[in-house]
Amino acid sequence: MPFADGGKYRWCRQESGSTGLTFTPATLSTDCLNLAKASWGQADSLAISGGPIATGAFNLTFFARDNNDPPGTNDNITQKSLALSINPTIAGIRIFNATDKKVHYRIDLDGCLEVDKNESTNPIFPGQTIYLYTKESRCEKDKRSCEKTYTDLITIDANCNNIVKLSAITPTSCTIIDY
């Protein structure tokens, strides 16, 4: 039996940790079943919005009650649990070519690619390695100037903007700095 006004149901939520998400109605309790009926938020439905502020696994339990017993505590109550996993997005890291020439590269020894001066490579992701070459012929023969793993590049990226700068390259070495 719905409530006469203010929404059809009353809502309460229990959660294992703060997700940073917004719940409307916002009633949060450590023990919804023993929380006074008037303390539960009232609405037709529960809305979840916002962006998470934490990563990890969260247990959420939602309770909804009707108005079966308007003056008393014998309303119908339903309970639903949700296991929510929030995982961070891993952004790839790019190398900006700040040299005065075109540079060739491979990611994980795939095909040879090129990057013009003042351009960036394709992104490198965790577990990948980029190999840099001064010329296409050196790339085809795998005569590397240098190689960097994703971890190497993230370490260089001190300002965490997911881009580093190739400032110099020779047939036997390269210099990559924060950008």
CA pair distance 53, 51, nearest whole angstrom:
7
Q: Higher model confidence: residue 56 or residue 88?
A: 56
The span from the CA of 142 to the CA of 94, in Å, is: 21
Q: How many CB atoms lie within 10 A of CB 86?
A: 15
The pLDDT tens digits for 29-87 are: 999 999 999 999 999 988 988 877 777 888 999 999 988 888 878 899 999 999 888 87
CA distance 129 to 146: 10
pTM of the shown model = 0.54
pLDDT over 80 at 161, yes or no: yes
On the question of pLDDT at 6 being above 90, the answer is no
Sequence-ordered strand ranges (E) for the chain = 9-15, 22-24, 41-43, 47-49, 56-65, 77-86, 94-97, 103-107, 113-115, 129-133, 146-149, 163-169, 174-178
Listed by start position, the domains of the chain span: 9-86, 94-178
Other residues' Cβ atoms within 10 Å of the Cβ of residue 90: 11
- pLDDT at residue 5 is higher than 60: yes
pLDDT at residue 93 above 70? yes
